[in-house]
Structure 1
């Protein structure tokens, strides 16, 4: 579990790397801040007391994602390769079926490294930002704060919509609930709880995560209404609003675009060949 000092060091290094290449790294801060005390998922490289290399592991169900960075002045010295080798020693002892390497689409440095690594392109994930658009508040779809009694429904939404197994969904939700920057909402429609989403407030921004509607209630416009309601509320509170969506989920991509979201960054994922 990273200390407060280490989290500050990661944030500083992230800013340096992003500014150098005009990119945006995906370090899953909601997970970094809520690591278990004995969780061995973060790897550091220091030079003269300064953090110059970092790699984090992020488990999602039966897959694990890796994302890291090296200070521009310390690249091509084998630092990231060593971090990756150390992380693979941990991953090899776990039961993940898919290992994904994450790289910002615009990062020439990351792409050059991956070309020499045994992996193949899998998917692209788009990061989107809301721009002013006319949205209507929908009274027949409501968002309410999630309660303890909703936990089983949250688990089933992850299972049915995101392909989690129940055990992984439970562990993921239990861990995420510890993050004080996150707010958890259930989506109600005509007295039925049909979906969920969570909103993270980080660095003055609102990020929408885990947006899901039960399959039997999809295609009815509920998702668009719930998203519109949440955007209206966050915009009213003065937050710039962001979310992420995989390119293969074209239905979700079109939904977000219809609500005024536009792509501003993207992340490419590569499957590690075993």
Structure 2
């Protein structure tokens, strides 16, 4: 578990690096604040009495995403290479099947560094923000409610298997690891008299982020996703939140769905798959 001082130092370094590079780093502070004491997921490098290098590993079942930074004045000294080596070795010990290196699309320093890493571009992820430019659907045939029962948990696991490519063991482990995140609300989507899908809301600092949004494959293409998303956006807007989400660019249908609900892309992250 990270201490308050460690979290503060990470945030200070992040703000400095983002200002210098005119970019946004994806450090998943909701996950940093909920770390387990049992696992090595964060890697630090301190010099001159301060944090100058940090790398975080974020596990999602069989996949781990890695994102980090080094103070501009301490670059080209091998700090990030050392931290990355430690993180990749740990991921391999934990038998991660996919290791992804995350970098802001606009980061030239990241692109230069990755030229020397055995990896290939796997996907581009867009961050999107909701703009109050469209009327939202309000359809009573789709319902949103909290996830509260064992049946709900089982449906969430099956949705992760069918929609996100996790195997059953990985999906159950991921559910176990994320069920106690204090900032999260787990919601179920109901339609046609049955559980149709799910999503997760993370609320922090006046922002509401939508994650894990999925509908069972056999129920896709019926407008359930758009109706559910509209309901949640309307709810969060009425509660005073700015609303954000993330979507992989390779999923053109999902991108169109979000745009139809008033979301607009403002930033992107590149993901590179480690190949050895």
- What is the TM-score normalised by the length of structure 2? 0.96
Instruction: Say if 2:37 is the partner of 1:31.
Output: no
**Which residue in the other structure is 1:13 paired with?**
13
Matches within 5 A, 1:9-158: 9-132=9-132, 133-149=134-150, 150-158=152-160
Contact 2:198 2:212 in 1 (8 A): yes
Structure 2 residues not aligned, in runs of 5+: none
Task: Note the aligned Cα RMSD (angstroms).
Answer: 1.2
* Number of aligned positions between the proteins: 274
Displacement, 1:271?
A: 1.2
1:20-71 deviation per Cα after TM superposition (whole angstroms, max 9, x unaligned): 1121111122322222111101000112221111011112222221110111
Q: 2:81 & 2:52 partners in 1: Cα distance? A: 13
Q: 1:52 & 1:72 partners in 2: Cα distance? A: 9
Residue range with higher mean Cα deviation, 258-267 or 113-122: 113-122
**Which residue in the other structure is 1:192 paired with?**
194
Displacement, 1:94?
A: 2.2
Structure 1 residues not aligned, in runs of 5+: none
Instruction: Say if 2:261 is the partner of 1:259.
Output: yes
Aligned to 1:92, the other structure's residue is in SS state helix
**Which residue in the other structure is 2:172 paired with?**
170
Residue range with higher mean Cα deviation, 244-253 or 166-175: 166-175
Q: 2:76 & 2:204 partners in 1: Cα distance? A: 32
Q: 2:156 & 2:43 partners in 1: Cα distance? A: 31
Displacement, 1:87?
A: 1.7
1:166-206 deviation per Cα after TM superposition (whole angstroms, max 9, x unaligned): 12111212221211111110001132111100110122111
Contact 1:34 1:175 in 2 (8 A): no
Displacement, 1:211?
A: 0.2
Contact 2:121 2:272 in 1 (8 A): yes
Aligned to 1:125, the other structure's residue is in SS state strand
**Which residue in the other structure is 1:230 paired with?**
232
Displacement, 1:123?
A: 0.7
Q: 2:200 & 2:62 partners in 1: Cα distance? A: 22
Displacement, 1:221?
A: 0.2
Q: 1:179 & 1:116 partners in 2: Cα distance? A: 36
Displacement, 1:11?
A: 1.6
Q: 2:64 & 2:137 partners in 1: Cα distance? A: 38
Contact 2:209 2:244 in 1 (8 A): yes
Aligned to 2:93, the other structure's residue is in SS state coil
Q: 1:128 & 1:146 partners in 2: Cα distance? A: 25
- What is the TM-score normalised by the length of structure 1? 0.96
Aligned to 2:86, the other structure's residue is in SS state helix
